[in-house]
Copies of this chain bind each other. A is one copy, B any other.
Amino acid sequence: MADYPELPRESTSTRRQFLKTAAFGLGAALTMPACSPSPALARGDEEKLGVALVGLGNYATNQLAPALEHTEKCRLAGIVTGTPAKAEAWSQKYSIPQTHIYNYETFDHIADNEDIDVVYVVLPNSMHAEYTIRAAQAGKHVICEKPMALNARECESMIAACEEAGVKLSIGYRVQFEPHNLEAMRLGREKVFGAVKVIEASFGFRLQNPNQWRLDKALAGGGALMDVGIYAIQAARYVTGEEPISVTAQEVKTDPMMFKTVDETITWQLEFPSGVVANSTTSYAAYVERFYASCEQGWFELGPAYSYSGIQGRTHQGPMDFPQVVQQALQMDDFADCILNDRASKVSGEEGLRDVKIIEAIYEAIATGGKVSLV
């Protein structure tokens, strides 16, 4: 982790103090009076929590910023970018004042900006820990993209920093707010078709641009497994409601040039206390995207299972009938609600840590060729 300046906790804003007070009070988010609205505020925006996006890459640009136009409790209040041209373009597109635009040198001054309540870390994986901790120390609640960090030690530092700063932390597990995935959780956990016995959960895509941070272990920490395999790990956990007790894993690499430092294709098997086995595949070489659970008296599946849109589901009884949603909008609104009502997020830092521990165990299982215990 890089050094970062220690910022005084006193720098948190008056509006923040109000929000914290309100959160412990009646939680009347919708009746909350406006306190020093920024120039960027539209009608009604004074009631919303201000979100600053840190890192204006593809996901921030094409998913999060548009999603923030669908949120009820959040608004895009600031940006952090090292690219002046991006700052200019975003400023114009989203009416973000210069006072709400930071770069990586000025980032910590975000502590002084009372319009910004939440920092959303959308940086390459290797920067998640540093910027989550710096945001916490700036007194901001934090959403950190998945994977939470490069290893469990970093995750634990992030959780500790947020606890110490008295801010909330959540991970960008958007599909936990998606109706088909929520239905899969219900079918699995409530044993609607009897106990789940076998799971197949896989997510991969064909990565074709060789010039991206995903292929650089120093930035990404790992390959397909950390990037998209994590969705399959998540799904196996949230559908069973169990934590795996052991894992075996295997790796195949067909393009050692392109995937010089990160994994290309990994298969793994999670064993759960009830005996459920989840067999999974992730890949940067091929598209695969499915969740399937077979139960004692039926089955259910999602496919596409984890996409930004177009998720569909089926059971042995027929197709699921749920609307398409803006997953990130629901995810961010839920986090705002957690802040306003001082409740824990279901996609907490601890939840992110659990997955990173499993990812570490998968890499260990590949390295040792053996079964790795998770208990």
Chain A residues engaging chain B, CB cutoff 8 angstroms:
197-198, 200, 202, 204, 206, 248, 250, 252-254, 265, 267, 269, 271, 274-275, 277, 279-281, 283, 285-288, 290, 292, 294-296, 299, 369-371
Measured CA separation A252–B296 after assembly (Å): 16
Task: State which of B204, B277, B288 has its C-beta within 8 Å of the C-beta of A252.
Answer: B277
Min distance, Cβ A155 to any Cβ of chain B, angstroms: 27
Measured CA separation A211–B185 after assembly (Å): 35
Instruction: List residues of chain B with CB within 8 A of the CB of A288.
Output: 198, 200, 292, 294, 299
Chain B residue at minimal CB-CB distance from A206:
B296
Q: Which of A286, A288, A295 has the most CB of B within 10 A?
A: A286
Q: How many copies does the complex hold?
A: 2
Measured CA separation A308–B295 after assembly (Å): 22
Contact B287 A277 (CB under 8 A): no
Instruction: List residues of chain B with CB within 8 A of the CB of A292.
Output: 288, 290
Q: A253-B275, A286-B294 are in contact. List 20 more A-B contacts (CB 8 A).
A: A197-B254, A197-B283, A197-B285, A198-B265, A198-B283, A200-B202, A200-B290, A248-B250, A250-B269, A250-B371, A252-B275, A252-B277, A265-B277, A267-B277, A277-B281, A279-B280, A279-B281, A286-B295, A286-B296, A369-B371
Min distance, Cβ A197 to any Cβ of chain B, angstroms: 4
Task: State which of B197, B253, B254, B283 has its C-beta within 8 Å of the C-beta of A294.
Answer: B283
Measured CA separation A296–B287 after assembly (Å): 8
Instruction: List residues of chain B with CB within 8 A of the CB of A290.
Output: 200, 292
Min distance, Cβ A283 to any Cβ of chain B, angstroms: 5
Instruction: List residues of chain B with CB within 8 A of the CB of A197.
Output: 206, 254, 265, 283, 285-286
